[in-house]
Amino acid sequence: MVEKVSGRRPYFREVPRTHWFLRHPRYLRYMAREITCIFIGAYTFIWVVGIVRLSQGEAAYQAFLQTLKTPSSIVFHIVALVFAIYHSVTWFNLTPKALPVQLGEEFLPDGVIAGAHYAAWAVLSVVILFLAGAF
Amino acid sequence: MAKSNKPIVWGPFAAGGTVTAFVTPVLIVLTLLVSLGHLPDMLTYEKLSSFAAGWFGKLAILVIVVFSLWGSAHRLRITFFDFGVRSDTLVATVVYLAAGLGSVAVLVSLLRL
């Protein structure tokens, strides 16, 4: 018996390993959300340094506050703020999926759950700004 | 039965995502004000050190910093994979180690205050 040569020519969709996310706006938004962690993590290290400096006494802490005033620090803060807000928005928009609330037969509408988180976020931000004496 | 360490990694990630969603933007606004020359009262040496000296201040700072670091470290690990870096064990070791060192530095500093 002669073995038939397979006529199958399966389609392999090539996926570029390093820049696959440039193919579709949805992938780009996903990556934008994922890289927020770089800025949030880097920003948290500013607090790590600040607390370490605080524990070393007033002179060390004043020097830390001075380094915050450099132009590169201002630019970093503005970029980090944009990414941090993007993370908050994407996180709160996912809350209806992560924390569905069932009332009897019905589920609480997505907008109510996400909206409650947005409202809490706004109130908490204003309270922290007020308590910190920012106004 | 297959055992998984995912819940241990996922718990702090979810906590970190939630903590950073709620407080990171407003914290950035506070230090942005400092960088622009307007020092909020709370961030003066006297106020911040007396806040960090109390148990509530210690706990608040520790919770925010530790969960922010762990959440970011875990997401960064996944992001490295997304950018095509396949040496996951190395990446995981480095990012979790950095988060761990930052957490220990803050804990030790808080205990000295």
- Condensed to tens digits (0 to 9), the pLDDT of residues B46-90 reads 999 999 999 999 999 999 999 999 999 999 999 999 999 999 999
Domain shared by A101 and A131, yes or no: yes
Q: First-to-last CA distance in chain A?
A: 89
Question: Beta partners for A103?
Answer: A106
Cα A27 from Cα B79, distance rounded (Å): 13
Report chain B residues whose CB lies below 8 A from the CB of A74: 32, 35-36
% of chain B surpassing 90 pLDDT: 88
Residues of A in contact with B106 (CB under 8 A): 47-48, 51-52
The DSSP result for chain B, as a single string, is -----HHHHHHHHHHHHHHHHHHHHHHHHHHHHHHTT---GGGSHHHHHHHHHSHHHHHHHHHHHHHHHHHHHHHHHHHHHHTT---HHHHHHHHHHHHHHHHHHHHHHHHH-
Judge if A31 and A64 occupy the same domain. yes
Per the structure block, which two tokens stand in for A51?
A: 């607390």
- Mutate which of B23, B30, B31, B76 to disrupt the A interface (most A C-beta within 10 Å)? B31
Mutation to test the B interface, candidates A43, A54, A82, most B Cβ within 10 Å: A54
**Amino acid type, A31:** M
Domain presence at residue A112 = yes
- Residue B91: the pLDDT is 97
Q: Give B3's pLDDT tier (boundaries 50, 70, 90).
A: confident
Is A50 domain-assigned? yes
Mean of the per-residue pLDDT values for chain B? 94
Ranges of chain A whose pLDDT falls below 70: 1-5
Is position A134 within any domain?
yes
Residue type, B49: S
Q: Best residue in A37, A65, A83 to probe B by mutation, most B CBs within 10 Å?
A: A37
Tell whether A4 is covered by a domain.
no
Nearest CA in chain B to A120: B22
pLDDT digits (tens, 9 = 90+) for A67-96: 999 999 999 999 999 999 999 999 999 999
Residues A27 and A57 in one domain: yes
Q: Taking CA atoms, what residue in A is nearest to B95?
A: A41
Same domain, A76 and A99: no
User: A16 vs chain B: nearest CA distance in angstroms?
Assistant: 9
Residue A67 lies in a domain: yes
If asked whether residues A70 and A29 sit together in one domain, one would say yes
Q: Answer with the one of A46, A65, A83 that is the final residue of a domain.
A: A83
State the residue range of the domain holding A35. 23-83
Q: Residue A15: inside a domain, yes or no?
A: no
Mind telling me how many Å the CA of B4 is from chain A's nearest CA? Answer: 21
Number of independent structural domains in chain A? 2
- The span from the CA of A72 to the CA of A82, in Å, is 16
**A88 within some domain:** no
Looking at residue B80, what is its pLDDT?
96
A32 with A76, same domain: the answer is yes
pLDDT of res. A82: 98
The last residue of one of the domains, among A64, A83, A102, is A83
pTM: 0.91
Is the residue at A2 inside a domain? Answer: no
Question: Do the chains contact at B23 and A128, CB–CB below 8 Å?
Answer: yes
